[in-house]
Amino acid sequence: MNETSVLDAQDLVFSYDGVRQVLRGIDLRVRKGEIVGLIGPNGSGKSTFIKLVFDLLRLKTGSLLVAGHPARSPQARMHAQYLASNDHLPEFLRAREYLAIAGDLYGQRLDLERAQAYFEAYGMSGRLEHLIEDFSHGMRKKTQLISAFLQRRPLTIVDETVNGIDLEAQYLVEKEFGRMRSEGRAILLCTHDFSMLERIADRVIFLDNGAVIADAPVRDVLSLHRGIGQMVFDHLDERSLT
For the segment 22-44, the average pLDDT, to the nearest whole number, is 94
Q: What is the band of 239 on the pLDDT scale with cuts at 50, 70, 90?
A: confident
How far apart are the C-alpha atoms of 183 and 156, rounded to whole Å? 13
Q: Check pLDDT > 80 for residue 202.
A: yes
Length of the chain: 242
pTM for the whole structure? 0.93
Whole-number pLDDT of residue 2 = 58
Segment 218-233, tens digit of pLDDT? 999 999 988 999 999 9
pLDDT in tens, 41-87: 888 999 999 999 999 998 889 999 999 999 999 999 999 999 988 88
Residues 94, 132 contacting (CB under 8 angstroms):
yes
pLDDT at 166 over 90: yes
pLDDT above 60: residue 1: no
186-to-67, 99, 127, 147, 208 alpha-carbon distances in Å: 11, 21, 29, 16, 23
Burial label, 163 (beta-carbon count in 10 A; 0-12, 13-18, 19+): middle
At 29, the amino acid letter reads R
Mean pLDDT on 192-211: 95
Query: From CA 128, how far away is CA 134, in angstroms rounded?
Result: 11
**So what's the pLDDT on residue 71?**
94
Q: Is the pLDDT of residue 20 over 90?
A: no
Residue range 125-147: mean pLDDT, rounded: 95
The whole-number pLDDT of residue 4 equals: 87
Give residue 90's pLDDT. 92
What percentage of the chain has pLDDT greater than the value 90? 84
Q: Beta-strand (E) ranges in the chain?
A: 5-15, 21-31, 35-39, 61-66, 69-70, 80-83, 155-159, 186-190, 203-208, 211-217
